[in-house]
Structure 1
Amino acid sequence: MKFTDGFWLMREGVRASYATEIRDLRVEESRFTAYAAVKRVAARGDTLNTPLITVECFSPAEGVIGVRATHHAGKARRGPDFTLFPDPPDQDTAPAATRRDGPVTELTSGPLTVRADGDGPWGLTFLDQDGRRLTGAGPKGTAFATTPDGAHHMIAQLALDVGENIYGLGERFTPYVKNGQTVDIWQADGGTSSEQAYKNVPFYLSSRGYGVFVNHPGKVSFEIGSEAVGQVQFSVEDQSLEYFVVAGPTPKDVLARYTALTGRPALPPAWSFGLWLTTSFCTSYDEATVTSFVDGMAERGIPLSVFHFDCFWMREYQWSDFLWDPEVFPDPEGMLARLKERGLRVSMWINPYIAQKSALFAEGAARGYLVRRPNGDIWQWDLWQPGMALVDFTNPEATAWYEDKLRLLLDQGVDCFKTDFGERVPTDVVWHDGSDPERMHNYYAQLYNKAVFDLLERERGAGEAVLFARSATAGGQQYPVHWGGDCFASFTAMAESLRGGLSLSLSGFGFWSHDIGGFEGTPDPAVFKRWLAFGLLSSHSRLHGNVSYRVPWEFGEEAVDVARRFTRLKHRLMPYLYGVAAEAHRTGVPMMRPMLVEFPGDPATRTLDRQYMLGPDLLVAPVFTEDGEVEYYVPEGTWTSLLTGESVTGPAWRHETHGFDSLPVLVRDGAVLPWGADEGRPDGDWLDGLTLRVFGPSAAGRTVTVPDLTGATAATFHVVRDAAGARVTAEGTTRPYRVCVEETGATGEGVGRVTVR
């Protein structure tokens, strides 16, 4: 929130106190604590009737420095808190060490240092390993304020340098670069066309090669150059504020350190990367409808991997009771078995709300499993479902009860769940474990998705769990996949969806999807066809809508051709894509990468929000126009169109026109794409008929791994390309494979070592 009235004045009724000078500094081996007066102390009397701000600097992990500023330390600590994963406590050396040189004290952790000067005015300076200033908290950078309503806020400001851009803060559909924006970290069901967000993450990434994570699960208000134009300000209504500065120097380094601290994403099963088709939301459907969809996809040669049943698989007014509507689905077990016989996985829509008409309402109320108001009444309202109540996941027995209901569906043959909602969480309630309602509002999504994901891992086994989740906060990346929520069926919404996905990826989320064609309304065929290509070049791909079906033939035969072409293309890319997915799981670097992530040294990439890198080697620029016009940027080097073989040289801006069966998909110079032979499914044997597609020279060599279905390395290929041709050394396999040098079309068969000329 904003506390000032312009630069000189405070807003009416606001009183602020700023750390001004250090009065005492206590230095330990791996941390220091500064006691900062809020006014200049010229005489002993100046120490009376005035507060101190206690500022602790410490390091939870290598390359991460925490700052905790506290006014009154006696406030009761009520949860929840983010779960952090610092370096193991039994490590050989502490992650940080202090150094004192006269009045200057430094704490260094890996490549990051924080410096405090006891002689000067208050300030903290953060330096990289070369001594370059990254950012700092200046004279107004550490403070507290009271507002007219009596609320107490802790405030921090970190400097913005000239030309510095700020990204992230969750899945935000506002402009991709967050400079100039006011962002409140507060879960809301606001669609994709407003400043509200389903996935709010108090973490931002800077183009200068560092990140900042505010360790507070409740409401955090960010002013990114929008109150003090040279500062990123963040504040919480509390007596203490803790934040972590995360070192780079590259965006990949920042994301790796941040996700090591807050949790790395699980690796979704390979089958989840295929095409998902749903019943849509408000449409009429039964088993005959579902069967007609599945038959229609097969007859048209469009491979299908997952079928999803949306809300009305349950009876109206009774969401959620987890019981099939018997009039519509009289034989659910038989139907699921029939779908499984066709090689499909099955997904079911759920949410954490219990309607009053559901039998689970009385059951949950009697057992104390539903969230209550302070007077003991169950919290209810009529939005979404009549008399809707909320499952209290802070109660372990309530969590087990909820999971038991889902387990019955798993026993019937269901494979995964779409965990919808989780944002409409009240603050005028009492939680079972005594959690602070304000802190629980955002954090509820974490408990909800964790409960369902943990159940799937227990029941289906490690590596088989996957969600289709809408809400999340920091740490939510551990439970993939997340999708972009309710967007309109328009080109504008398609572009805003991509902005949201890019922002989420820079908030530590490795996997992301969206409703192909848009959710609200029925897309124009042009929108649907363009969105198909974009959606099938995303980490996960789902056809879904609101009031109309999303089967491709509803939008014409050309839509069928586009769906077939790009679904098959994604399947052939799976040896590459699943390797990228495994990298996201290991390192936290997302599959869908803003251009900044791969090209941080290229200033032209810092504002690009209509294109992305799919892994390290594929540039994708979705087409957001009916006529096929697209403008995109090509970084330095020679790039090759995956679809046409045309070469493009950068750095350059490109203006092209594409048919509905095309879009810019460029392969990076020196890349070696492992190319699968199986177009029919995403989870086949990728070494069977494998082709190594070599793009451009790489005299230094390029090592490429092909994963197995667990994400482990099945085979490793080392490819050297020079004037003599391409020479390949394979390890871990004796299976035959082909090598194709793209610009010449030369091919060769090989086992072990092969030369292609």
Structure 2
Amino acid sequence: MKFKDGYWRMRPGVRADYATSAHDVTTEPGSVRILAPTREIVRRGNTIDGPVLRVDLSSPMPDVVRVRVVHLAGSVPAAPVFDVRDDHPGVEVSVDAGQVSLTSGALTVRAGRDAPWDLSFSAGGRELTRSAGKSLGIMNDQDSRHFLVEQLRLSSGELVYGLGERFGPLVRNGQSVDIWNEDGGTSSEIAYKNVPFYLTNRGYGVFVNHPGRVSFEVGSESVSRVQFSVEGHDLEYLVIHGPTPADVLRRYTALTGRPALPPAWSFGLWLSTSFTTDYDEATVTSFVDGMAERDLPLSVFHFDCFWMRRYRWCDFEWDPEVFPDPEGMLRRLKERGLRVCVWINPYIAQASALFDEGAAAGHLLRRPDGTVWQDDHWQAGRALVDFTSPAAREWYAGKLRGLLDLGVDAFKTDFGERVPTDVAYADGSDPERMHNYYSLLYNQTVHDVLAERRGPGEAVLFARSATVGGQRLPVHWGGDCESTFEAMAESLRGGLSLGLGGFGFWSHDIGGFEGRPDPAVFKRWVAFGLLSSHSRLHGSGSYRVPWLFDEESVDVLRAFTRLKARLMPYLYGAAVQAAREGLPMMRAMPLAFPGDPACAHLDAQYLLGPDLLVAPVLSADGEVTYYVPAGTWTRLLDGESVTGPGWRTERHGFDSLPLLVRPGAVIATGARDDRPDYDYADGVTLNVHEPADGESTTVTVTDSGGRPAAVFEVSREGSRLRARRIEGAPAPWNLCHAGTHAAAAPGTDHIEISLTAKE
């Protein structure tokens, strides 16, 4: 939200009261409290009749500083609040006549005692950012709304990333962003997944710990500042030191939670009925048969909305006219080795029997006058489950348990964005702050019941809406996009931006959602989709089985599905890292290469895990221009070398795209290509690319539960490439370099390859 008209003037009807100094300072162990008046205090009379901001400085963990600003404390809602870790680390507090400072780890915040207001953040003797004069304050507008606002300085050349799922350019500078979940597709400024956290190329991040609407002006009201504002009387933000973007993400996710590790089977290909298409068990069987007949590995079958009866979503009952034997159908699918996912949402249609049941028990969201909140969007007379009520959550979870007992394995948790604010929650939560937070309660309820019935390592969602903490509950997909190359690009930007908010696992509708993609779009999207963390064929009014496009689509889907399966030892290792460290599987180039200025704005390519560079082809003719960072990279699909730094323009067939291996990387590939969940260590091949003399690399191959199954050390000594197994039970394994393969002899744990002939 903009409050100024240019640099000097306020907008009509806006009154500003800015903090002027740290006039009154008190300290306690681990914290500092500042009273910041909004007028200069030159005599005692200036302390009367005027607002004073309370500014508390503390630290929840090393290298993180919390700033909490309160105006009228009695007007601050108690709920909801994000679950943020607080370790109460040891900090150093210093106070003298000129300033007060608090140091946590390498990060120091200093507040000047005299006017003008000055709050600076530094690490290693280098200033990161600063709240200077006319930055922190109170805004009252002509509608008597009350806001708290802060502005943090942007240095010359500083670039801002993040703020959740955003479909425009990856760099946020110059953008106005409202943190407010909405159902708006992938081609506008609004988003399904909003996260009030950003990071910059200057070595720090900022998390605004506020669950409701947060308005960001990123170099857009004042071009040298990031402004954020909230309506109400409290504003808390945390400055997180890196120094690298990866370090910032590790600390942010340590604060707000890291993703659960999805089950290995979820990384295979998902096939959907699509949204409004006509289907029954015969249709489903024909799709599954068609995939098998064409040798297309399939892991999950998904039933979208119309598995339930029209006008009754969600009553969690199979449409008896279309699916007269759901238990038998699910059993038959599972006998073919498939997992089953079904679509749900948090809305209860008036025609559903659950409406009367939920209303009578008090499980549905109500208006302030006590009546059930309803409208006719999506389903006639829809109501919302009140997830602030433990009884309502248990009621909803009970309906899901019935589906799990029937054989369902996963839920697509659609919607959760269209949440009203003219309501009264069961626990008294503030409706404005609940708007985004609702998505967290909804998805947490579903994830918990999956973990309860299937086990923690087997719980997986396909979720659309999210906010802070939602990253703990994977997987998320990008929402409704068109079936065009432009939509493919905007979906990618949204996913990379979301990853910069700690979301480790992300997917999208292969081929696009709205409309029917032409074969070229479909085939290019298949390659991108199978080189994403999760891969789903889904559409709106048309099916997404490949033979309906052309026979080449079948071949392309087969090739990339099998490639992903072979890469699972490497990919699941990246998934384990995402769960343990908070680093996304699909990494934006500024995250992966923070020291390379050529990567700062790149949003059409990414790293998949730590070592694979992917540049999706966004054209029918196959022409793609992409950037290669420094070093000699290897094209995975044909073994050719590509040297950077520099730009390349290439033309690729539908069975290809730029897929490069980082210099010195060891990519573990599996012995199977027909499924994603298998014994990764049995027959694993260690593919070594451009090893440096004297360097050694440790490679851990996990099992399909994320536990170490085998550990190898690979090193180059002159013309010899050596590998040895240092942990793990005896099993066949292989070493490969530049087309030369060697297998470990039975009972041995060492392999050597001569490099002389290859270099």
Q: TM-score, normalised by structure 2?
A: 0.98
> Within 5 Å, which residues of 2 pair with 1:80-229?
80-87=80-87, 94-128=89-123, 130-229=124-223
CA displacement, residues 437-478 of structure 1 (integer Å, 9 cap, x when unaligned): 000001000000000000000000120000000000001000
Q: 1:268 to 1:95 in 2, by over 3 A?
A: farther
Q: For residue 35 of structure 1, report the CA deviation from its aligned partner.
A: 1.3
Q: For the residues of structure 1 that align with 2:417 and 2:174, how far apart are their CA atoms? A: 26
Secondary structure of 1:61's counterpart equals: coil
Corresponding residue SS for 1:235: strand
Q: Is the 8 A contact 1:69 1:142 kept in 2?
A: no
**Alignment partner of 1:662 is 2:656:** yes
Shift, 1:120, TM fit: 4.9
Q: CA deviation at 1:100?
A: 3.1
Alpha-carbon deviation of 1:238? 0.8
- The equivalent residue for 2:53 is 53
Code of the residue aligned with 2:610 in structure 1: it is P
In the alignment, is the contact (CA less than 8 A) between 2:680 and 2:704 conserved in 1? no
CA contact (8 A) 1:645 1:742 kept: no
Give the Å deviation of 1:738. Answer: 4.0
Residues in 2 aligned to 1:371 and 1:117: alpha-carbon distance in whole angstroms = 48
Matched AA of 2:59? S
How far apart, in 2, do the equivalents of 1:481 and 1:466 lie? 6
- Listed one character per residue, the Cα deviations across residues 131-182 of structure 1 (whole Å, up to 9, x for unaligned) are 1011111112210110111110000000111111111111111221111011
- Distance (Å, rounded) in 2 between the aligned partners of 1:581 and 1:101: 48
The CA deviation string for residues 502-539 of structure 1, in whole angstroms up to 9 with x for no partner, is 11000110100000000000001000000000000000
Aligned length: 751
- Partner of 1:565, secondary structure, is helix
**Residue 306 of structure 1: which of 300, 311, 317 is its match?**
300
Cα distance between partner residues in 1 of 2:625 and 2:110:
45
Q: Distance in 1 between matches of 2:717 and 2:650?
A: 32
**Structure 1 residue 545 displacement after superposition:** 0.2
| Residue matched to 1:29 | 29
2:606 to 602, 612, 622: 612
Gapped regions of structure 2 (runs ≥ 5) = 755-759
Alignment of 1:491-570 (within 5 A): 491-570=485-564
Partner-residue secondary structure (3-state), 2:445: helix
Structure 2 CA distance, aligned partners of 1:76 and 1:740?
62
Opposite residue 631 of structure 2, the aligned amino acid is G
Pair 1:16-2:16 in alignment:
yes
Q: 1:321 maps to what in 2?
A: 315
CA offset at residue 323 of structure 1? 0.2
CA RMSD of aligned residues (A): 1.1
1:42 corresponds in structure 2 to 42
Separation of aligned partners in 2, 1:746 and 1:448 = 50
Cα distance in 1 between the residues matched to 2:704 and 2:497:
29
Q: For structure 1, which segment, 168-177 or 482-491, has the greater mean C-alpha deviation from structure 2 after superposition?
A: 168-177
Secondary structure of the residue aligned to 1:201 is: coil
Structure 2 residue 470 is matched with structure 1 residue 476:
yes
Distance in 2 (alpha carbons) for counterparts of 1:119 and 1:472: 42
Q: Distance in 2 between matches of 1:559 and 1:735?
A: 40
Distance 1:22 1:450 in 2: 41
Query: Which secondary structure state, in structure 2, belongs to the residue aligned with residue 729 of structure 1?
Result: strand
Choose which of 705, 716, 722 in structure 2 pairs with 1:710: 705
For the 8 Å contact 1:18–1:140, the answer to whether it is kept is: yes
Q: Cα distance, 1:271 vs. partner?
A: 0.2
SS in 2 for 1:291: helix
- 2:205 is paired with a residue of what secondary structure? strand
What's the secondary structure of 1:732's corresponding residue?
Answer: strand
CA contact (8 A) 2:66 2:236 kept: yes
Distance 1:76 1:224, change over 3 A: closer
Change (3 A) 1:746 1:709: closer
Deviations 1:287-332 (A, max 9, x none): 1110110111111111000000000000001000000000100000
Question: Which ranges of structure 1 fall in alignment gaps of 5 or more residues?
Answer: none
Contact kept in structure 2, 1:320 and 1:358, CA below 8 Å: yes
| Alpha-carbon displacement from aligned partner over 1:384-422 (angstroms, at most 9, x marks no partner) | 000000000111111111111110000000001000000
1:678-726, Cα deviation, whole Å (9 max, x unpaired): 0000001112211110111132200010001211111110100232321
Q: Does the aligned pair in 1 maintain the 2:76–2:232 contact within 8 Å?
A: no
- Per-residue deviation at 1:52? 1.4
Kindly report which structure 2 residues correspond to 1:385-404, keeping only aligned pairs within 5 A, or say none.
Answer: 385-404=379-398
* Structure-2 change in CA distance of 1:300 and 1:249 (3 Å): same
- 1:336-415 counterparts in 2 under 5 A? 336-415=330-409
1:193–1:493: 8 Å Cα contact kept in structure 2? yes
1:753 and 2:750 correspond: yes
Q: Does the aligned pair in 2 maintain the 1:697–1:722 contact within 8 Å?
A: no
* Partner residue of 1:687 out of 672, 681, 686: 681
CA separation in 2, counterparts of 1:608 and 1:363?
Answer: 52
**What is the match of residue 63 of structure 2?**
63
CA distance in 2, matches of 1:301, 1:99: 69
Contact residue 76 and residue 234 of structure 2 kept, 8 A? no
Deviation at 1:101, TM superposition (A): 4.6
How many Å apart are 1:43 and its aligned residue? 2.1
**In the alignment, which residue of structure 1 is the partner of 2:757?**
none
- Identical pairs, percent: 64
Instruction: Specify the code of the residue in structure 1 equivalent to 2:211.
Output: P
Counterpart residue type for residue 75 of structure 1: S
Q: Output the amino acid matched with 1:468.
A: F
For 1:527 and 1:283, the matched residues in 2 are separated by 20
Q: 1:233 aligns with which of 227, 240, 243?
A: 227
Query: Which residue of the other structure, out of 715, 725, 745, is the alignment partner of 2:720?
Result: 725
Structure 2 residue corresponding to 1:450, chosen from 429, 433, 444: 444
AA matched with 1:116: A
Shift of 1:746: 4.2
Cα shift at 1:45: 1.9
Compute the displacement of 1:732 (Å).
Answer: 2.3
Q: TM-score if structure 1 supplies the norm length?
A: 0.98
CA distance, structure 2, for counterparts of residue 256 and residue 76 of structure 1: 30
Deviation at 1:590, TM superposition (A): 0.7
Q: Deviation above 6 Å: which 4+ runs of structure 1?
A: none
Opposite residue 421 of structure 1, the aligned amino acid is: F
- What is the alpha-carbon distance in structure 2 between the residues aligned to residue 136 and residue 33 of structure 1? 18
Q: Which residue identity is paired with 1:219?
A: R
